[in-house]
Amino acid sequence: MTSLDGNAIAEVERLVQSGETVIVPGPEPRGVYYLRHPNGELERHRAELDESGATLRDLESLTLALTDGLKAGTALMVYVDDAQVVFAQENADGTHRWVTALPLPTHPAFALVSTWVKPTLIPQKELVRLLRTQLSPYVDATVIPTFSTLNFTDNREGASSVAPMQHALDRRIVQRVNAANGQDVPESILLTPPVYDIPEDRDEEYEVKVYVEFDHDEKKFVLQVVHDDLRRARERAVSRVIAALRAHAGPNLPVLYGKPN
């Protein structure tokens, strides 16, 4: 049997220590490790939380996740902003955090109307097509035949009023149209599209007014949506989501308007 003197044993220990600088001890929680310095001292460190999660498609599924999280004691916080809902959870010893997300995609009809924030030129046929297809569930039924039966003359008699960057609808032409079909040409269209394309919001109505004018030079309608109507509609939709989650979660789980960093 070979015997080693004290100097040899110290050298072996030094080589072992320098070769294994990261130590993961057994009793510590997951994510805790130690760094061994050349002098043999250990420095405790904690790794970043392991984050994972899931993406849901409806509010009902998210409320089920809230229920499970509250029962398990892992529910931490719910964040709601204009684009998504994030449900954050964390285990008891704080070594694992995960999130469950519910995207809030904009409904196609609301997205279409939102593009009319700036004055938008649309030919009569295209406007009628939009009213009959994408916007038909969200507009009064009398509006569609009104726009589909209009016959505008090219009579330029009289002075048309002029607004900045666009021509207003000529009153004499309006009178000729009224005589032709017996209906007034609306100066605005009231639409009631849903804001979010999730099952719980598709049947909700949010009023949005679109002003209608006619450009005689381009022979097209000029559409412009009221910006404040868009903002109020989205605020109402977000408030509905927050109210539903707060009612389900109760006082033990904060539901905040914002998003996690």
- pLDDT (tens digit, 9 = 90+) per residue, 39-94? 777 777 666 555 568 999 999 999 999 999 999 999 999 999 999 999 999 988 87
Contact call for residues 246 and 255 (beta carbons, < 8 A): yes
Q: Mean pLDDT throughout 11-15?
A: 62
- The mean predicted confidence, pLDDT, of the chain is 82
Cβ neighbours of residue 108 under 8 Å, at least 6 residues apart?
A: 134, 197
Can you give the pTM of this predicted structure?
0.72
Rounded-to-integer distance, Cα 120 and Cα 126, Å = 12
Which residues face 51 on adjacent strands?
A: 97
Contact call for residues 110 and 195 (beta carbons, < 8 A): yes
Helix (H, G, I), strand (E, B) or coil at 256: strand
Between 3.30.465, 3.40.50, 1.10.10, 3.30.720, what CATH number should domain 51-103+237-257 receive? Answer: 3.30.720
Rounded-to-integer distance, Cα 21 and Cα 145, Å = 80
Residue ranges, comma separated, of all CATH 3.30.720 domains in the chain are: 51-103+237-257
The reported pLDDT for the residue numbered 160 is 42
The reported pLDDT for the residue numbered 161 is 43
- pLDDT over 80 (residue 174): no
Rounded-to-integer distance, Cα 170 and Cα 181, Å = 17
Rounded-to-integer distance, Cα 132 and Cα 159, Å = 33
- pLDDT over 80 (residue 95): no
Q: What is the 3-state secondary structure (H, E, C) of 138-187?
A: HECCCHHHHHHCCCCCCCCCCCCCEECCEECCCHHHHHHHHHHHCCCCCC
- pLDDT over 90 (residue 261): no
Q: Are strands 75-80 and 255-257 parallel, antiparallel or unpaired?
A: parallel
Identify the weakest region by mean pLDDT among 9-13, 17-21, 50-54, 221-225.
17-21
- pLDDT (tens digit, 9 = 90+) per residue, 102-121? 999 999 999 999 999 999 99
Q: Considering only CA atoms, which of 217, 160, 225 is closest in space to residue 192?
A: 225
Rounded-to-integer distance, Cα 71 and Cα 216, Å = 65
The reported pLDDT for the residue numbered 179 is 36
Q: Mean pLDDT throughout 88-101?
A: 89
Contact call for residues 85 and 62 (beta carbons, < 8 A): yes
Rounded-to-integer distance, Cα 129 and Cα 145, Å = 11
